[in-house]
Structure 1
Amino acid sequence: MTGRLLPWILTIGGLIGLTAAGTLTVEKLALLREPDYIPTCSIDPVLSCGSIMSTPQAEVFGFPNPLLGIAGFAVVTTVGAALFAGARFARWFWLGLQAGTTLGVLFVHWLIYQSLYDIGALCPYCMVVWAVTIPVFWYTTLHNFGDRPGLRVLARYHTVVLLAWYLVIAAAVLQAFWTYWTTVF
């Protein structure tokens, strides 16, 4: 079952992530050109891309993080499209994709922590990247290692694992901004 999902997850997830990363790059360039620019994703004090874009966490490697997303999601989209076309890849290729998606999901979770507990703001486009990076990693992992005894059970409940993962992140977001959310509603 998960094997049939992989081309869809990679292609659609890659395109969504590529769009979000591209939009973030355009917003960052606009902010660099015009310091008073308010990004379209700055909605209120919590949903505020502008405040996140001005932090050191937004340029961990010395350039805007969304550039990593553009490169990574372009690869993911291409692999997904190639799978639809019937491509078969060598084991080393799959392990390379696994390494890339693992680094991506680790980086995303570091950014989630930074957003929630250090920066104190959320970027809607970044949250889209979080949302697509997780299944791209999860289904790549299931493809590569789903036949192992420990993952075989998880593979059977692949959507439950994914839903639980999202629920943990949603709970962390609610917890981190509980005071703000209670003033809004």
Structure 2
Amino acid sequence: MIGNLQPAATFTRRENTPNIARMLPIVLTVGGTIGLAAAFLLTVERLNLAADPDYIPSCSINPVLSCGSIMKSDQAALFGFPNSLLGIFAFAVVTTTGTALWAGARFRPWFWHGLLAGSLAGVILVHWLIFQSLYRIQALCPYCMAVWAVTIPIFWYVTLHLISSAPTQSPGRSLITTAIKFHSTVPMLWGFAVLVLIIQRFWSYWATLL
């Protein structure tokens, strides 16, 4: 079974703080579910657009919030197929992991390192797509933004889960302790920074709505 799933009374290492232990399954389950739903809807819309070039996706709302512009771009199929297919697979794994943690399962360290590598790749891809959306395609996709919003906390909490098990005397332990203590601050500021970029980039349009 994936990750050598094993039943256990607890789902995190004993070194994890209660906050991280409590938040991890929530973030993975909720974030994974939202990401999976968004990726699925994007795939459906992309198939509809492929079948009918005149089709207007449900998430094409105005000149800025325009999924159609995103879907027709080369960036939407970075590896030769719709990026959303990657999202379906990745978020299915994340959701399954979160659900398993709720059930009291635990995973071996190699699984967590693999999940961290995958979430890191996801964060890098998401930020590349953010740049492309804002400064190259010059349009936003609501479903894509839902993926952006959940990928950041998923990566952050998986990272905290791993670093929280570092030996208490290890270098940088004080920084790790601070990161764990203010665990929700980083993803909030991270997301706020992306929001500021979105507002700034399309301010000329947002201003017309005021």
Q: Distance in 1 between matches of 2:63 and 2:164?
A: 42
1:19-44 CA-to-partner distances (Å, cap 9, x unmatched) read 00000000000000000000000000
Q: Following the alignment from structure 1 to structure 2, what is the Cα–Cα distance between the partners of residues 65 and 94?
A: 24
Question: 1: CA distance between counterparts of 2:66 and 2:158?
Answer: 31
Aligned equivalents of 1:146, 1:126: Cα separation in 2: 31
1:176 equivalent in alignment to 2:201: yes
Name the TM-score, length of structure 2 as normaliser: 0.86
Is 1:25 matched with 2:43? yes
User: What is residue 179 of structure 2 aligned with on the other side?
Assistant: 154
CA distance in 1, matches of 2:51, 2:35: 24
Partner of 1:47: 65
State the 1:159 CA deviation. 1.2
Bigger Rg, which one: 2
The aligned counterpart of 1:132 is: 150
Unaligned runs of 5+ in 1: none
Deviations 1:40-68 (A, max 9, x none): 00000000000000000000000000000
Q: What is the 5 A alignment of 1:85-104?
A: 85-104=103-122
Please state how far the C-alpha of 1:147 moved relative to its aligned partner: 4.6
How far, CA to CA, are the matches of 2:66 and 2:89 in structure 1? Answer: 24
The two structures have a TM-score, normalised by structure 1, of 0.97
The one of 62, 69, 72 equivalent to 2:90 is: 72
C-alpha separation between the residues in 2 aligned to 1:3 and 1:110? 30
Q: Distance in 2 between matches of 1:76 and 1:55?
A: 27
CA distance in 1, matches of 2:60, 2:31: 24
Tell me the amino acid that sits aligned with residue 51 of structure 1.
S
* 2:108 matches 1:83: no
For 1:125 and 1:68, the matched residues in 2 are separated by 14
Aligned pair count reads: 185
Letter in 1 for 2:98: G
Residue 167 of structure 1 pairs with residue 185 of structure 2 = no
1:5 corresponds in structure 2 to 23
Instruction: Note the C-alpha offset of 1:2.
Output: 1.3
My pick for the range that moved more, 142-151 or 103-112, is 142-151
Instruction: Kindly state the Cα deviation for residue 182 of structure 1 after the two structures are TM-superposed.
Output: 1.0
Return the offset for 1:105: 0.8
Corresponding position: 1:108 with 2:126: yes
SS at 2:105 equivalent: coil
